[in-house]
Structure 1
Amino acid sequence: MKRAAIDPFFATLAAANPHPVSELEYTSVFELLVAVLLSAQATDVGVNKATRRLFPRANTPQRILALGLDALTESIRTIGLYRNKARHLMATCALLVERHGGQVPRERAALEALPGVGRKTANVVLNVAFGEPTMAVDTHVFRVANRTGLAPGRDPLQVEQGLLRRVPAAYLLHAHHWLILHGRYVCQARRPRCEACTVARWCDAGPPAMRD
């Protein structure tokens, strides 16, 4: 994608959705962390169904530890990799209590030191909870960045670094939300909906008749 196209690309996405939000359901920083941790290889819809069962019973590190591994595992058994996620979440809760007074840290290194929390999860928490202009690269962002030519890369880290270099500062805070939503509902994996795409004119893969 030509650099001159990037500003109108994001301006168009921003005009359609000025204040994008995560589709995960949460009411605290800790609930957000849990939801994102559970979302690996699972849909937001599936995670929300699980957390609607879990959070009324336990929505703090202390309460999840008190709930116990077996009950936690049962609460989230409808999502993928639920056994591993339950173990990771229990271990994360223990570290939050032991090292951080039960609070979610806002430093990247401390977040990534939590079991089950990788770079993408840390980026989501830093962005959504703490307002930092990070770039969380999931499968949707990876696909859109490569397909459009916005920030091509061989792996998520390369795409993340490319996006941080190329996305104008004015759009950086919300950029990953716009790209996630665009990839989820328009620039889909199997059949991109180019005919319904408002930014096709700036996309490297858009139909020639729709491009500038």
Structure 2
Amino acid sequence: MATIVKGKSVQEFKSDPYVATLLNCMLWVFYGMPFVHPDSLLVVTINGCGFVIELAYIVIFLIYSPASKKKRILLALLIEVVFMVILIFITMTFLHSTKARSMLIGLLCIVFNIIMYASPLTVLKMVIMTKSVKYMPFTLSLANFCNGVVWLIYALLKLDPYILVPNGLGSLFGMLQLGLYATYYTSTNWDEDDTKRSEVELSGT
């Protein structure tokens, strides 16, 4: 984001991961509501904070994007809002117990959470082929791993399968990324041309 603000342009960076994560946060906030899954205050507060952060990222994209990209982002946001409205309507109208509501929203959360955790894996093929981790951000991999482990522990304490499944897989995905980072760190050419780096980073995004 600092690169976008500094250059006053989104260049070829993609807003898709942030838009997708925004929907993921909305789903988890709804899941944690007392009338869906009682006693989930941490789920609501943490994903509520995540929602605000992702929304801030998207606003930055909207400010520095050309008109065509702005339309795409706004359309995606509109689809997400419509999806959430329909989902909330169906959940509150046709499902009359917290168990049934938790199952529906929980299953959707599992799907979107796995997609979110798996998205950084798209760069792993390039890491293996080039034997270089220069284009795989270590902090993102570490954050994904730590996030997965923390929520995995929380799920085990609360015995919540809907949080356990995606975050268990997220921990494994994060461990795989960190393992590859450790494997190819020494073979990485850190002085590689910056232009090539930018091109690869953009394609990975």
Q: TM-score, normalised by structure 2?
A: 0.28
Report the structure, 1 or 2, having the larger helix content.
2
TM-score norm. by structure 1 comes to 0.28
